Structure 1
């Protein structure tokens, strides 16, 4: 009897618009990180304690690199990921960022043609090889400011 094949290794990448201010980038990453964690049920590691006995809750065990891209590249990547059934693409558009409530966001989105032309940040998740192929050309977010 053979054992079932292991699922392909998953990769999650956050891509932030290169000109997004740091505070907005952090917010976008937080919103999209919580969304993809919930959607994909990403695994939490066990909690731990430091040498002094202070407890620390478990964190997601999936590394999430933060990359940068321009507006056109974010739109291209979002559209390409939406076509590939093996990938998950979650975006935070300017329509979403400006909305004060989720209901306002949904109403504004319904009235916005091609909201994907104005993406602030994007998460792409799926099989490691597919995500890597789609994002390997992108630099780390903030790498040029080091």
Structure 2
């Protein structure tokens, strides 16, 4: 892994979604991303009372706002060779419509990528590449 100052992680979430779906999308992206980049999760912390707090990510994760078009464009860019070393996790309408993972696997296998409507995407990689994709995007507030 590069030094922390050379890596970046962002999430881009469709600002037009209801608040609950935005929160759910962010949680799912974060959990999945954590599986793929466990090295950026810090060690557990012990507070002044002696209570343990599980380690959290050691770098900031700005949540940026986009819409279904900007997220679609990002996803398409991330499929190109220029960004094959960037980790990207997406969450779409196909995934959100399923209650069990086996149903998702079945549904997604029958849907072309261009038919996915992305709710959000998490991106992790070299800071320069992540900034190239998202550097001008505003924060979701």
TM-score range, shorter chain: 0.7 to 0.9
- For residues 54 and 69 of structure 1, the distance between their equivalents in structure 2, rounded to whole angstroms, comes to 39
In the alignment, structure 1 residue 41 sits paired with structure 2 residue 34 = no
Whether contact under 8 Å (1:13, 1:125) holds in the other structure is yes
Do 1:42 and 1:62's aligned partners in 2 also have CA atoms closer than 8 Å?
Answer: no
What is the distance in 2 between the residues matched to 1:71 and 1:79?
Answer: 12
Q: How many residues align?
A: 137
How does the TM-score come out when normalised to structure 1?
Answer: 0.84
Structure 2: 5+ residue stretches without partners: none
Q: TM-score, normalised by structure 2?
A: 0.87
- Cα 1:116–1:139 shift into 2, 3 Å: farther
Q: Report the Cα distance in structure 1 between the residues aligned to 2:55 and 2:113, rounded to whole angstroms.
A: 38
Is 1:110 aligned to 2:109, yes or no?
A: yes
For the aligned residues, what is the CA RMSD?
1.8
CA distance in 1, matches of 2:71, 2:130: 14
Unaligned runs of 5+ in 1: 1-5
Mean CA deviation greater in 74-83 or 54-63? 54-63
1:16 to 1:75, Cα distance in 2 relative to 1, 3 A: same
Partner residue, 1:88 = 87
Provide the residue aligned with 2:73 in structure 1: 76
Given the alignment, which residue of 57, 60, 67 partners 1:60?
Answer: 57
Larger radius of gyration: 1
